[in-house]
Amino acid sequence: MTARRDIEAITQRIRQRSKAGREAYLGRIAEASGRSANRAVLGCGNLAHGFAVCSPSEKIALGGDRVPNLGIITSYNDMLSAHQPFETFPALIKEAAREAGGIAQVAGGVPAMCDGVTQGQPGMELSLFSRDVIAMAAAIGLSHNMFDAAVFLGVCDKIVPGLVIGALTFGHLPAVFIPAGPMTTGLANDEKAKVRQLYAEGKVGRAELLEAESKSYHGPGTCTFYGTANSNQMLMEIMGLHTPGASFVNPGTPLREALTREAAKRALAITALGNAYTPVGRMIDERSIVNGVVGLHATGGSTNHTIHLIAMAAAGGISLTWQDISDLSEAVPLLARVYPNGLADVNHFHAAGGLGFLIRELLDEGLLHEDVQTVWGEGLRPYAVEARLGDDGGVVREAAPLKSGDEKVLAPVSQAFQATGGLKVLGGNLGHAVIKTSAVKPERRVIEAPAKVFDSQQALNDAFKAGTLTGDFIAVVRFQGPKANGMPELHKLTTVLGILQDRGQRVALVTDGRMSGASGKVPAAIHVTPEAVEDGPIARIHDGDVIRLDADAGTLEVLVPGTEFALRRTADADLIGNEFGFGRELFAGFRQLVGRADHGAAAFGNA
Among 336, 364, 399, the domain-final residue is 399
Q: What is the mean pLDDT of the chain?
A: 93
Looking at the fold, whether 38 and 172 belong to one and the same domain comes out as yes
Looking at the fold, whether 386 and 427 belong to one and the same domain comes out as no
Is 280 part of any domain? Answer: yes
Looking at the fold, whether 360 and 478 belong to one and the same domain comes out as no
Is the pLDDT at 11 greater than 90? The verdict is yes
Looking at the fold, whether 380 and 447 belong to one and the same domain comes out as no
Looking at the fold, whether 115 and 15 belong to one and the same domain comes out as yes
121-125, 161-165, 210-214, 386-390: which range is least confident on average?
Answer: 210-214
Predicted local confidence at residue 204, as pLDDT: 87
DSSP state at residue 383: G
Looking at the fold, whether 313 and 372 belong to one and the same domain comes out as yes
Looking at the fold, whether 571 and 451 belong to one and the same domain comes out as yes
CB distance 285 to 320 below 8 Å: no
Taking the CA atoms of 592, 596, 599 and 602 in sequence, report the sign of the dihedral they define.
Answer: positive
SS3 247: coil
Residues 271-309: pLDDT tens digits? 998 889 999 999 999 999 999 999 999 999 999 999 999
DSSP state at residue 66: -
Looking at the fold, whether 258 and 368 belong to one and the same domain comes out as yes
Residues 578-589: pLDDT tens digits? 899 999 999 999
Predicted local confidence at residue 558, as pLDDT: 98
DSSP assignments along 490-534, one per residue: -THHHHHHHHHHHTT--EEEEESSB--TT--SS-EEEEEES-GGG
Is 339 part of any domain? Answer: yes
SS3 222: strand
Beta-strand relationship, 473-477 and 103-109: unpaired
Looking at the fold, whether 380 and 465 belong to one and the same domain comes out as no
487: domain CATH number?
3.50.30.80
Is 203 part of any domain? Answer: no
Range of the structural domain that residue 569 is part of: 423-599
Is 44 part of any domain? Answer: yes
Neighbours of 19 (CB within 10 A): 12
468-477, 535-544, 596-605: which range is least confident on average?
Answer: 596-605
Looking at the fold, whether 443 and 374 belong to one and the same domain comes out as no
Per the annotation, does 54 bind a ligand? no
Beta-strand relationship, 385-389 and 446-454: unpaired
- Give the chain's length: 607
Per the annotation, does 156 bind a ligand? yes
Looking at the fold, whether 394 and 510 belong to one and the same domain comes out as no
Beta-strand relationship, 175-178 and 149-153: parallel
Is 382 part of any domain? Answer: yes
Residues 161-175: pLDDT tens digits? 999 999 999 999 999
Is 191 part of any domain? Answer: no
Is 138 part of any domain? Answer: yes
Among 399, 434, 458, the domain-final residue is 399
What residue type is 43 in one-letter code? G
Is 372 part of any domain? Answer: yes
User: Where does the pLDDT of residue 527 fall: very low under 50, low under 70, confident under 90, or very high at 90 and above?
Assistant: very high
Looking at the fold, whether 573 and 532 belong to one and the same domain comes out as yes
Number of folded domains that form the chain: 2
